[in-house]
């Protein structure tokens, strides 16, 4: 298309949930605000407790701390702007702001896929090679694995975001979503995007499938090892160390797959918004809750940290009373 036939877009309008009545939008604002605060508080507690309590300095909690960092970043990228569109009707986002939001959305999303695979490998080593676990998962190794988990998000986010935003955009600038995701932004491009779409499909499949296959391989070996344990108590103990991670993986991958791998005929913008809420808003809130409620070590550490904090507070108050 000739340059004279299109107008350069300087900002986008996020349609978000604007089609809903104002009362419903206000209710959604309060709901998402509570979820947002719980997410920040829960993941921050996980980070603080796993750092403060010596009992939680094992590799599993090192990776859990990385997951909590990631979930906080994921939420900060998506939720504040969504809350603004609901309560203040601030639906505009600048061209650069949209590109930045998309970049970090891809970065955190890809990183989470690989981090969940790394956490599955950690459980595989812990259960299948318990005697060699401290040697294999030494601090330097776990740092390398964490870096490996975070790194793939950088090239994926850089290529996809810069390529998409290098296309010309026509006069229509309404993004039918609550954040700048690739498919709704791509619909506003007035150029041939066939090559980009092929790359995006292949990239998405690889980013989802490679970690997913690694997780499946890890849990296949874990299941085989657990079945060889003679006592029922031993089997239950081994499985309990994996149950939280399995639940988190299931929530993340099911919502992600339903969002991006459903047939287009069944993939309306409104249903995609609802599914997107699952892995961008709900799952980051549930992760610290799952790891806290289903893990006695985390619960005990939270109790110890709370009592320690209360003891410091009491001593501080007594000092000033004297």
The answer to the question of residue 61 being in a domain is yes
Rg (CA), the chain: 22
Give the C-alpha separation, 109 to 112, whole Å.
5
**Going by C-beta distance under 8 Å and a sequence separation of 6 or more, which residues neighbour residue 48?**
305
Asked whether residue 317 is assigned to any structural domain, the reply reads no
CB 168 within 8 A of CB 6: yes
Return the percentage of the chain with pLDDT > 90, whole number. 51
- Whether the predicted pLDDT of 318 surpasses 70: no
Task: Give a yes or no: residue 17 inside a domain.
Answer: yes
Q: Answer whether residue 315 is part of any domain.
A: no
Domain contains 319? no
Q: For residue 321, is it within any domain? A: no
Residue 252, both tokens: 């993340």
Question: ∠ CA 86-87-90 to the nearest 5 degrees?
Answer: 75
Residue among 114, 94, 112, 91 at smallest CA distance from 102: 94
Q: How many domains does the chain have?
A: 1
Question: Among positive and negative, which fits the CA dihedral 127, 130, 132, 134?
Answer: positive
CA 235 – CA 228 distance, rounded (Å): 9
- List, for residues 89-135, the tens digit of each pLDDT value: 788 999 999 999 999 999 999 999 999 999 999 999 999 998 899 99
> Which of 47-51, 236-240, 254-258 is most confident?
47-51
Residue 9 has pLDDT above 90, yes or no: no
Considering only CA atoms, which of 294, 291, 299, 288 is closest in space to residue 71? 288
Strand, helix or coil for residue 14? strand
pLDDT tens string 123-171: 999 999 988 999 999 999 999 999 999 999 999 999 999 999 999 988 7
pLDDT band at 87 (very low <50, low <70, confident <90, very high): confident
* Residues forming a β-bridge with 205: none
Tell me: the pLDDT tens digits for 268-281?
Answer: 777 788 888 888 89
Q: Could you list the residue range(s) of the whole structural domain that residue 226 is in?
A: 11-298
The sheet carrying 11-14 orders its strands as 92-94, 11-14, 174-175
Q: Residue 84 pLDDT > 70, yes or no?
A: yes
The CATH number covering residue 181 comes to 1.20.1070.10
Tell me what pLDDT residue 35 has: 95
pLDDT at 1 (0 to 100) = 42
State the DSSP string of 204-235. HHHHHHHHHHHHHHHHHHHHHHHHT-SSHHHH
- Dihedral angle over CA of 31, 109, 172, 24, nearest 10: -10
Rounded-to-integer distance, Cα 297 and Cα 309, Å: 18
In whole angstroms, what is the distance from residue 77 CA to residue 40 CA? Answer: 13
pLDDT digits (tens, 9 = 90+) for 178-223: 999 999 999 999 889 999 999 998 998 899 899 999 999 999 999 9
Above 50 in pLDDT, residue 2? no
Which residue, among 259, 273, 280, has the nearest Cα to 15 in the 3D structure?
273
Q: Where are the beta strands (DSSP E) in the chain?
A: 11-14, 92-94, 174-175
Angle at 251 between CA 145 and CA 161, to 5 degrees: 65
Residues 6+ positions from 251 with CB-CB distance below 8 Å: 278, 279, 283, 286
Q: How many CB atoms lie within 10 A of CB 221?
A: 16
- Give the tokens for residue 6: 């299109």
The Cα–Cα gap between 38 and 36 comes to: 5
Place of tokens 């695979």: 117
Closest CA to 30 of 78, 83, 66: 83
Judge whether 308 lies within some domain.
Answer: no
314 occurs within a structural domain: no
- How far is 199 from 193, CA to CA, in rounded Å? 10
> Tokens standing for 319?
């000092």
């Amino acid at each position: 298309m000739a340059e004279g036939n299109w107008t350069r877009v300087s900002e986008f309008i996020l349609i978000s949930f604007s089609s809903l009545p104002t009362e419903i939008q206000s209710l959604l604002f309060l709901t998402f605000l509570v979820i947002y605060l719980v997410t920040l508080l829960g993941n921050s507690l996980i980070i603080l407790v796993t750092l403060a309590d010596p009992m939680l300095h094992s590799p599993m909690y090192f990776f859990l701390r990385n997951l909590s960092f990631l979930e906080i970043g994921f939420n900060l990228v998506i939720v504040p702007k969504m809350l603004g569109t609901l309560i203040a009707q601030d639906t505009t986002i600048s061209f650069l702001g949209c590109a930045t939001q998309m970049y970090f959305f891809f970065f955190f999303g890809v990183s989470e896929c690989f981090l969940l695979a790394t956490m599955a490998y950690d459980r595989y080593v812990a259960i299948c090679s318990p005697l060699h676990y401290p040697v294999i998962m030494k601090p330097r190794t776990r740092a390398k694995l964490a870096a490996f988990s975070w790194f793939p998000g950088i090239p994926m986010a850089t290529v996809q975001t810069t390529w998409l935003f290098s296309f010309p955009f026509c006069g229509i600038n309404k993004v039918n979503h609550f954040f700048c995701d690739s498919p709704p932004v791509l619909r506003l491009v007035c150029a041939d995007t066939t090559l980009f779409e092929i790359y995006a499909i292949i990239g998405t499949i690889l980013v989802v499938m490679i970690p997913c296959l690694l997780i499946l391989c890890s849990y296949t070996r874990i299941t085989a090892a657990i079945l060889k344990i003679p006592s029922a108590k031993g089997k239950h103990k081994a499985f309990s160390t994996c149950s939280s991670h399995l639940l988190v993986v299931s929530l993340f991958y099911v919502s992600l797959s339903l969002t991006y791998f459903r047939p287009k005929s069944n993939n309306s913008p409104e249903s995609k918004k609802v599914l997107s809420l699952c892995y961008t808003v709900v799952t980051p809130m549930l992760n610290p809750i799952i790891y806290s409620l289903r893990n006695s070590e985390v619960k005990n550490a939270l109790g110890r940290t709370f009592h320690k904090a209360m003891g410091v507070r009491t001593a501080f108050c007594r000092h000033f009373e004297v």
